[in-house]
Structure 1
């Protein structure tokens, strides 16, 4: 089965898909390059090289990375008097330099270093250009003509990996900046080559991640817009695989979450129901994929929770019972320990909703 990762061909992140979406358990969320072809006998195809000499495959960024978030520097700043450099958002959380332990008297921007970082990013945007490589020579001493491959996919995987590192380290501004560049690249490619399944899946996934950034920054309006656009692109795919199905259903659920907390319960139910439909169809087409069954149970819980809050108690109970039945009948492989923990967590929540005289709790409590 294809992973469905929009950047899987270009990524080299230890076998981990840099685009894989999971839904956190808080806030109403139970779920968690081809090389260039030869162009003539005197031409040679090489992997693209960073203009600063850094290894673009292993992403070893050296002085261009932040020690704290482990991502590319964003709003590069130095703490005085030791002059060690970090992302502004990262170092602002410290009173002592995390590298040398010196007291931080003040933090100053380092515009020169940040300019180098931006040039480094821009250097990964070149698309198929001829270039004379001084390292490659014919026997007679003449330079070979180097044809660089299309590196747009590699740049996308690189930016996404950096964004994920920054996001996990709570450097949300950095993550949003990198993802925004990625989206701009793909929009330009859409204008040049038109809409393709691969590009729609890429753009839909990254837009969803941008929505996560806006949501973390408290900008619910922008988050909703990004999630809706993510749904728009992912819905264009005629036969999405399971990875795309998961991303689409997660984006729908996250819009539902935002509507739920804005107390627009009917709108929330509409989005949760759309996500449930997507997941039910996935189970019909892939009945032996255990994670899809757990996803359906989660969606049933979300819809039932809204029904209860809307006063439709009988419908809510039916939804909870259906979800419980599906999870209790699910037998997992002993190796699927993570999925089993998730199944038990969701099952515990569902069963708690049917306990008599218990105060109703919304899905965000699990």
Structure 2
């Protein structure tokens, strides 16, 4: 069975290091699948279309979207007296209507349009179609009934795209809601198709994004749970895929970060080491990857920082120095300006950690 969620390589909402935006990747994935469908459509077949008018090629949703976060309305609310509609979280930051400038006397929920949005989400890409005639040479008649084929493949990319728009606009509840729906879709597919690597990687990516949402909301416990489940599913995906390796190691590091902030240094070190191991193992077959080498150096710095906090200064200095030596020997193409800037930044940090912790030789 074809997976519902074609966005395994999508960037996380807070992953600023991604070379391409997650929104573009979702769009490209959807366009790729749509193109594949169109190429395989036989004569006499009506192309699938969303009954509510959603354009999967442009991700346009018109009046069902919030002009502030550019995503589907969530907890739809209208301004009084002008009646312009926005997401509740988006409009709550304003005293004047962003569209007309009228003073906002109060904000009321708009159940009618929210129900329409919810029906749109529930029905989106779950329509079906089939040839209007069993005879491929027969022309399609408008009077003949059309049964739509399952086109749910685009639903996952659509939900993630909406979630990322909302997340960037700090409408985190909206993002979490869309991602939760996407996770439910993939879990249903896993029940039917088994733990296929592609589905596992897709669910792992979505769970990681849900962890980002919970972390942004200050819910560290739920964030850790999502990241741990993300690690569980990503570990079942093909280990040679660089995007999966990156997402897996990032989830492990984020658990380490949360444990660190909670004061559990030993647990934090365990997760940082697991992330470091994932990246080291990946370097065995991707030794020429500059970005991966930088990731390893960052992991070394994280582990070394914990070692210092645990009182093992010698091991900490050794870790910082290993990272320095790795980055000094790293050759980056002159065209990769951002990558070189990152190398210089990480190298500067590592050197500062070694210098600051050395005893004063003048005394």
Same fold (TM over 0.5): yes
Q: How many residues align?
A: 335
Aligned pairs for 1:185-204 (under 5 A) are: 185-204=185-204
Aligned-pair distance for 1:36?
7.3
Give the structure 2 partner of residue 44 of structure 1: 45
Aligned-pair distance for 1:341?
1.9
Tell me if the contact between 1:38 and 1:44 (Cα under 8 Å) persists in the aligned partners.
no
Tell me if the contact between 1:43 and 1:146 (Cα under 8 Å) persists in the aligned partners.
no
Give the structure 2 partner of residue 297 of structure 1: 297
Tell me if the contact between 1:7 and 1:157 (Cα under 8 Å) persists in the aligned partners.
yes
Paired residue secondary structure (2:279)? helix
**1:90 to 2:90 alignment:** yes
Give the structure 1 partner of residue 350 of structure 2: 350
**1:336 to 2:336 alignment:** yes
* Structure 1 stretches of 4+ moved >6 Å: 36-39
Distance 1:344 1:37, change over 3 A: closer
How far apart in 2 are the matches of 1:43 and 1:231?
Answer: 46
How far apart in 1 are the matches of 2:15 and 2:315?
Answer: 25
How far apart in 2 are the matches of 1:287 and 1:165?
Answer: 35
Tell me if the contact between 1:23 and 1:250 (Cα under 8 Å) persists in the aligned partners.
no
Tell me if the contact between 1:90 and 1:171 (Cα under 8 Å) persists in the aligned partners.
yes
Question: What is the TM-score when the length of structure 2 is the normalising length?
Answer: 0.85
Give the structure 2 partner of residue 323 of structure 1: 323
Aligned-pair distance for 1:239?
3.2
Aligned-pair distance for 1:339?
1.4
Aligned pairs for 1:76-155 (under 5 A) are: 76-126=76-126, 128-130=128-130, 139=139, 141=141, 143=143, 148-155=148-155
Aligned pairs for 1:225-244 (under 5 A) are: 225-244=225-244
Paired residue secondary structure (1:353)? helix
How far apart in 2 are the matches of 1:264 and 1:217?
Answer: 21
How far apart in 2 are the matches of 1:18 and 1:357?
Answer: 40
Question: What is the TM-score when the length of structure 1 is the normalising length?
Answer: 0.85
Give the structure 2 partner of residue 35 of structure 1: 37
Q: Hey, which of these two has a bigger chunk of helix by percent?
A: 2
How far apart in 1 are the matches of 2:120 and 2:176?
Answer: 18
How far apart in 1 are the matches of 2:358 and 2:164?
Answer: 39
Higher RCO, 1 vs 2 (CA within 8 Å, ≥6 residues apart): 1
How far apart in 1 are the matches of 2:78 and 2:278?
Answer: 48
Give the structure 2 partner of residue 7 of structure 1: 6
How far apart in 2 are the matches of 1:331 and 1:155?
Answer: 41
| Structure 1: stretches of 5+ with no match in the other structure | 1-5, 10-16, 26-32, 360-366
Aligned-pair distance for 1:317?
0.3
Aligned pairs for 1:18-33 (under 5 A) are: 18-19=10-11, 23=15, 33=33
Q: Hey, which of these two has a bigger chunk of strand by percent?
A: 1
